[in-house]
Structure 1
Amino acid sequence: MKFNPGTGMLALCLATVIIGVPASAQTYPTKPIHIVVPLPPGGSNDVLARILAQKMSESFGQPVIVENKPGAAGNIATDFIARAEGDGYSIAVAPNQTVAVNPVLYPRLPFEVSRDLTGITLLGRVPMVLVVSPGKVAATSVAELIALAKANPEKLSYASAGSGSPQHMAAEVFKSMTGTRITQIPYKGSAPALVDLLGGNVDMMFCPINSALPFIRSGKLRALGTSGAKRVELLPKVPTIAETLPNFESDIWIGMVAPAKTPPAIINKLNAELRRSLALPDVQGKLAEQGIYAETSTPQEFTRLIASDQKRWAEVIRAANIKQE
């Protein structure tokens, strides 16, 4: 048989690629995958993890188990993943609070995000909506709220889910950009904060859209603006805050991370599967119903997003003199 140089070279290249990929990555996964969620069941992070777990299980032919490890503002779960084996069988949902805000707010954490974790992909964004208590606040627009706050420094109050929470950070960006003085009333979680807002005990709140939507529709809360770069389909008539306050943006983003020791081939396999799942129309539909908008990235892009957001929130935390509780 005559040797074909082109065929021989192709075979050599394929062999090189196969040899270069560890056997574990070629056969991965061969056992259940565990997705750790740093917050309690029922919230956006949990809903997103469970929808993806089902799709991943169907595709991989292995169980994908969601484990909730709440506590310490998400630091317990993040530390767990930072210490886990880097074999692709323990990964974690990573909202921006746990990997971009907490490392700045809690300087003595037992883990270091840039050293101990690696990004898999961005999963999606959860817009927040600035809502006010209609019985307490007369403002019907962002501009009116800013004018009211400037005319009454430290008279208005906002509810947050605690220091460093997305609600807190969004409000501090709003205050900084508008030059207003609004008092934070921190709570242990979004639920009690929302209850007090509905009860008229606080004036306003940046609230995840899925939590606020029923009360906006019933008239118990008044929506003034959304926190993202574009209007939200669930509230098409509500303007973005950026339409009044240019460049304002403070969405919650959610991604997936793995231990830093995880082989790149496994990271890439997980990235491809998560991006495939998030592109499915039924997945996007289910997420949109919860106010979650699918958005993906390469592992490198997500790792860069974490680093850039750490820098951004460090500046906000220093400027507002935010301390850990």
Structure 2
Amino acid sequence: MKYDRRTVLKLLCSTTAVVTLPELAYAQEFPARPIQIIVPLPPGGSNDVLARLLGQKMSEAFGQPVVVENRPGAAGNIATNDLAKSKPDGYTIAIAPNQTVAVNPVLYPDLPYDVLKDIQGISMLGRVPMVLVDSPSVSAASVSELIALAKSRPAELTYASAGSGSPQHMAAEVFQSMTGVTLTHIPYKGSVPALVDVVAGRVDMMFCPLNSALPHIGSGKLRALGTTGLKRVELLPDVPTIGETVPGFESDIWIGMVAPAKTPSSVINKLNAELRKALDLPDVRKTLAEQGIMSESSTAADFNKLIADDQKRWAAVVKDAKIKP
């Protein structure tokens, strides 16, 4: 790419220029071919919905195809490793739920990559509130009643999760730590079989992603006790947050977009700008809200800080609760 003399002089003399000429040229050319978004989980869930919806908007903005590829397995570690080992050029990026970039690095000590060194954030994409639900057969219709019941019957009440280290499991560990109750963990290989057994009454309760729980709450098969975010959820306005009973409690699922480390900052900034623009579109916000996803964007720097801070937070939880994969 060529620059006229005046443009070159302005760039060389500017005290605010933060990119080199080659990087500027790369950013102007990017993307010149299709972009791939890796999703570390199977099709159909919140991560997949975000990837496909935002991928479509990015394709329209960039004039290039955006291909979504699901690579589930090993709790998301396979896809995250693939991303970390990809060429840092912006053409391979990945969906990153907090489990893969904040929990797994402290849960699995022998991962072949270091998230904080090998991966960098592009932007936050959204949060998926969880809701604490129990079977109607359990004699607790509120968080305070559940705490009282659990304290009267230590380790007798059971809760389901999508597996050790899953967001559901981690939320339950934080809940136990902050309330002093003892519950019995029943891990499953995924959210679907876990939810099935709670609905059937074979397990007492579950911290469940909102979008999965809503149909069963509406039908009366599950009872909503409290949501896990800092604010009440619009889809369940009458259900209090758990924090209203247990001050300071918060354990949402958050999801972002990441790239390999050393991806040029100009490319990260370009991807960030398009993602944030897409997340501000009314139709995107509406579609995500209907799926129980609260859209939320950030700068790349703020997302990197969130990943690092959450790793520290969950490291303490894993250590205190002696959680093993």
TM-score, normalised by the number of residues in structure 1? 0.95
Structure 1 runs of 4+ aligned residues shifted over 6 Å read 8-11
Q: Specify the alignment match of 2:132 in structure 1.
A: 130
Structure 2: which 5+ residue stretches go unaligned?
none
| Rounded Cα–Cα distance in structure 2 between residues aligned with 1:284 and 1:12 | 43
Q: Deviations over 1:166-222 (max 9, x none)?
A: 000000000000000100000000000000111111000000000000000000000
Equivalent in the alignment of 1:27: 29
Cross-structure match for 2:251 = 250
1:109 matched to which residue of 2? 111
- Is 1:64 aligned to 2:61, yes or no? no
CA RMSD in angstroms, aligned pairs only: 1.4
C-alpha distance after superposition, 1:3-34 (max 9, x if no partner): xxxxx998732466572634222110010000
Question: CA, structure 1 residues 30+9, in 2 after alignment: closer, same or farther (shift >3 Å)?
Answer: closer
- Distance in 2 (alpha carbons) for counterparts of 1:26 and 1:15: 18
Question: Which amino acid counterpart does residue 13 of structure 1 have in structure 2?
Answer: K
Within-5 A mapping of 1:46-57: 46-57=48-59
Asked if the contact 1:85/1:261 (under 8 Å) is kept, the reply is no
**Residue type matched to 1:131 in 2?**
V
Question: Match of 1:307, SS?
Answer: helix
The aligned amino acid for 1:93 is I
User: Do the aligned residues in 2 keep the contact of 1:119 with 1:256 (CA within 8 Å)?
Assistant: yes
Q: Counterparts of 1:68-87 in structure 2 under 5 Å?
A: 68-87=70-89
Would you say the 8 A contact 2:23–2:264 is kept in 1?
no
Partner of 1:309: 310
Q: Helix, strand or coil for the counterpart of 2:220?
A: coil
Give the structure 2 partner of residue 13 of structure 1. Answer: 10
1:1-325 residue pairs with structure 2 within 5 A?
Answer: 12-14=9-11, 17=17, 19=21, 21-135=23-137, 137-324=138-325
Shift of the 181–81 alpha-carbon distance from structure 1 to 2, 3 Å rule, reads: same
C-alpha displacement of 1:261: 1.9
**2:258 counterpart SS class:** strand
Distance 2:290 2:316 in 1: 34
Separation in structure 2 between the aligned mates of residue 158 and residue 177 of structure 1, nearest angstrom: 16
Output the CA distance in 2 between the equivalents of 1:295 and 1:287. 11
Structure 1: which 5+ runs fail to align?
A: 1-7
- Residues 62-119 of structure 1, C-alpha deviations (whole Å, 9 max, x = no match): 0001000000000000000000000100000000000000000000000100110000
d(CA) in 1 for partners of 2:233 and 2:76?
Answer: 27
Aligned equivalents of 2:8 and 2:244: distance in 1? 57
Q: C-alpha offsets along residues 246-282 of structure 1, whole Å, 9 cap, x if unaligned?
A: 0100000000000002100000000000000000000
Distance 2:79 2:180 in 1: 36
SS in 1 for 2:55: helix
Q: Distance in 1 between matches of 2:237 and 2:51?
A: 27
* 1:24 alignment partner AA: Y
Looking at structure 1, the residues matched to 57 and 12 of structure 2 have their Cα atoms a distance apart, in angstroms, of 31
1:25-50 deviation line (CA, Å, top 9, x unaligned): 21100100000000000000000110
How many residue pairs are counted as aligned between the two chains?
A: 316
Counterpart residue number, 1:5: none
2:9 maps to a residue whose letter is L
Q: Please give the secondary structure, in 2, of the residue aligned with 1:253.
A: strand
Give, as a single letter, the amino acid of the residue that structure 1 aligns with 2:298: S
Task: State whether residues 127 and 254 of structure 2, in contact with CA within 8 Å, keep that contact through their aligned partners in structure 1.
Answer: yes
